[in-house]
Amino acid sequence: MNYFVTGTDTGVGKTLISCALLHGFAAQGRRVVGMKPVAAGCADGGQHEDVRQLRAAANVLASGGQINPYCFMQAVAPLLAARFVGVSINFARIVESFSELNAQADVVIVEGVGGFRVPLNDEQDSADMAEQLGLPFILVVGMRLGCLNHALLTAEAIAARGLTLAGWVANVLDENMAMLDENIAALEQRIGAPLLGVVPCQAHQPDAREVASLLDLALLEQADLHD
């Protein structure tokens, strides 16, 4: 019951959906914890806002180093942020932290950085990291103009690596998006994984507990049984 949450781009709601998944599984009585292997744009001496939200949504206590092995101050691409401080992102450290979390929880939700293929070091990207963790994916599609192409390319890239797309979430970013329902239907027809839920555009600070009620986690369990 561990999942890797990726998105069609940066700023599409991966953290919101990751936290909603944590709340949803916790409501089932499971021990849950979130992980953000790499984050950029961390406050000086503090933690990244995404990490803070993931920790708040969990019911398993874990160290900051386990949840977020790599945190960089510069709010730029992780490769550049790491290079700025003379650090190389080592996947072995990330895998070790994940294993520690996995030993403490029933469900680990790993939130990626940016989209599916974000460079993390000179030779590897976020897709390589996800492949090493070997987790099924949940894709967050930011519903706005251009999302069809981004969503289908991401789903295709996941399949090309022999990885599993367990489900996807339509997160509405543009409340005035033309033909929203038709766009969602087009993706349902083409993505070979269940639509877990549609999250309306959030006018105010979104509540991950409320969003959890919009997600059908039973679809994930059915996919696991099928596999």
The residue behind tokens 């190389």 is 88
Q: What residue ranges do the domains of the chain occupy? A: 31-135, 136-227
pLDDT tens readout for residues 140-177: 999 999 999 999 999 999 999 999 999 999 999 999 99
| Range list of H helices, 58-107 | 64-67, 78-84, 91-104
Q: Tell which CATH architecture fits domain 136-227.
A: 3-Layer(aba) Sandwich (3.40)
Q: What is the pLDDT of residue 224?
A: 59
Fold match, 31-135 / 136-227: yes
Q: For the domain bounded by 31-135, which CATH number is listed?
A: 3.40.50.300
- Which helix (DSSP H) or strand (DSSP E) does residue 207 occupy? none
Q: Which residues are catalytic?
A: 36
Is 180 within 8 Å of 147 (Cβ atoms)?
A: no
pLDDT tens readout for residues 44-94: 667 899 999 999 999 999 999 999 999 999 889 999 999 999 999 999 999
Radius of gyration of the chain (CA): 16
Is pTM beyond 0.85 here? yes
pLDDT tens readout for residues 181-214: 999 999 999 999 999 999 999 877 889 999 999 9
Is 171 within 8 Å of 12 (Cβ atoms)?
A: yes
Distance linking the first and last C-alpha atoms of the chain: 12
Between CA 77 and CA 185 the distance in angstroms is 33
